[in-house]
């Protein structure tokens, strides 16, 4: 009996050690020497376009440790959109467009969701628990918004305003990547173009991609629809749709763009079809003023 009791006691202690508690609110989320929440490349790009990568990084502030996740989990799609940073750099250089990139993981705070949305600081993603996000207190959420979310959107807004102040309605090009499979469903598309209110631009781009690449599967509002209720409040709705700015949202399949070579290859394929679509000068006007 004593032996069993001792074993049970050890088991309880072991469980206690492995239990992850929600970290207390640090005095400052981003410590000295850590990257800013956002970075901008090609700050003064001349193209009438701003490229944005909301999920470019899987970095977590030191104050939050690993969010209770393993290194393997932090490399998965739940933490970021692999390939988008490299695609962004390539397109920014070729188009001479400003590029706005997130420096922290979507699991810390999802910049592509509304600040009040449950998905903004998920407690679970793709059936994986995010221990450090469970039971977050209002002060903890407020800190993540104040130090990462709002500064990011402020910088993006400034880049768009740089064009708007010159009388130009800039195109907002949003880059994302998606998993080849989700919940047992195979996602066969190579590239997907998403849309909500800018169906015209999206349809022209889908047509251009299909014409130039007849052997590829091009998704039209796939692998998911932008009209879904959980994504109606996002970067595009906040910065483009609310103003009537033109926009394009593109999704690349992650197994195709996971390396620098793959990212460059698919960026080239995409750019070839994008160029004729955005060459239309009528595009760079507010939606209500376009023909």
CATH number of the domain bearing residue 176: 3.40.630.40
Cβ count near 237 (within 10 Å): 17
Determine, yes or no, domain membership for 125.
yes
Instruction: State how far the Cα of 55 lies from the Cα of 47, in Å rounded to an integer.
Output: 23
Phi-psi region of 238 (alpha: psi -120 to 50; beta: other; left: phi over 0): alpha
Instruction: State how far the Cα of 34 lies from the Cα of 84, in Å rounded to an integer.
Output: 21
Strands 124-125 and 128-129: antiparallel
Determine, yes or no, domain membership for 253.
yes
Length of the chain (residues): 291
Tell me how many domains the chain contains.
1
Determine, yes or no, domain membership for 124.
yes
Determine, yes or no, domain membership for 177.
yes
Instruction: State how far the Cα of 123 lies from the Cα of 84, in Å rounded to an integer.
Output: 24
Determine, yes or no, domain membership for 159.
yes
Q: What is the 3-state secondary structure (H, E, C) of the chain?
A: CHHHHHHHHHHHHHHHHHCCCCCCCCCCCCCCCCCCCEEEECCCCCCCEEEEECCCCCCCCHHHCCCCCCHHHHCCCCCCCCCHHHHHHHHHHHHCCEEEEECCCCCCCCCCCCCCCHHHHCCEECCEECHHHCCCCHHHHHHHHHHHHHHHHHHHHHHHHHHHCCCCCCEEEEEEEECCEECCEECCCCEEEECCCCHHHHHHHHHHHHHHCCCCCEEECCCCCCCCHHHCCCHHHHHHHCCCCCEEEEEEEHHHHCCHHHHHHHHHHHHHHHHHHHCCHHHHCCHHHCC
Determine, yes or no, domain membership for 187.
yes
Residue 100: give the domain boundaries: 36-281
173's tokens: 């090009």
Determine phi and psi for 220, rounding to 5 degrees.
-105, 105
Determine, yes or no, domain membership for 26.
no
- Encode the chain (291 residues) as per-residue pLDDT tens digits: 444 444 444 443 333 334 455 556 667 899 999 999 999 999 999 999 999 999 999 999 999 999 999 999 999 999 999 999 999 999 999 999 999 999 999 999 999 999 999 999 999 999 999 999 999 999 999 999 999 999 999 999 999 999 999 999 999 999 999 999 998 899 999 999 999 989 999 999 999 999 999 999 999 999 988 877 566 689 999 999 999 999 999 999 999 999 999 999 999 999 999 999 999 999 999 998 886
Asked if residues 95 and 170 have their Cβ atoms less than 8 Å apart, the reply is: no
Locus of tokens 């701003």? 50
Asked if residues 263 and 87 have their Cβ atoms less than 8 Å apart, the reply is: yes
111's tokens: 């910049």
Instruction: State how far the Cα of 232 lies from the Cα of 3, in Å rounded to an integer.
Output: 58
283's tokens: 């595009």
Asked if residues 24 and 75 have their Cβ atoms less than 8 Å apart, the reply is: no
Determine, yes or no, domain membership for 291.
no
């Amino acid at each position: 009996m004593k032996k069993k009791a001792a074993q049970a006691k050890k088991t309880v202690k072991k469980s206690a050690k492995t239990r992850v508690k929600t970290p207390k609110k640090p005095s400052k989320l981003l410590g000295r020497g850590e990257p800013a929440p956002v970075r901008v490349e090609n700050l003064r790009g001349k193209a009438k376009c701003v490229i944005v990568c909301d999920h470019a990084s899987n970095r977590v502030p030191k104050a939050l440790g690993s969010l209770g996740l393993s290194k393997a989990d932090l490399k998965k799609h739940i933490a970021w959109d692999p390939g988008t940073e490299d695609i962004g750099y390539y397109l920014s250089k070729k188009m001479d467009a400003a590029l706005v990139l997130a420096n922290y993981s979507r699991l810390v705070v999802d910049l592509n969701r509304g600040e009040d949305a449950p998905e903004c600081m998920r407690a679970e993603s793709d059936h994986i628990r995010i221990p450090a996000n469970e039971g977050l207190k209002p002060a903890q959420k407020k800190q993540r918004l104040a130090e990462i979310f709002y500064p990011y959107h402020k910088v993006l807004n400034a880049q768009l305003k740089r064009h708007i102040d010159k009388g130009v309605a800039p195109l907002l090009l949003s880059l994302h990547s998606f998993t080849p499979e989700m919940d047992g469903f195979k996602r066969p598309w190579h590239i997907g173009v998403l849309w909500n209110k800018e169906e015209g631009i999206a349809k022209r781009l889908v047509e251009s991609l299909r014409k130039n690449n007849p052997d590829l599967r091009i998704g039209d509002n796939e692998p998911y629809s932008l009209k879904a209720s959980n994504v109606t409040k996002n970067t595009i709705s906040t910065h483009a749709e609310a103003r009537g700015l033109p926009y394009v949202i593109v999704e690349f399949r992650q197994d195709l763009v996971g390396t620098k070579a793959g990212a460059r290859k698919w960026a080239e394929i995409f750019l070839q079809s994008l160029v004729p679509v955005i060459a239309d000068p009528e595009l760079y006007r507010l939606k209500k003023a376009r023909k």
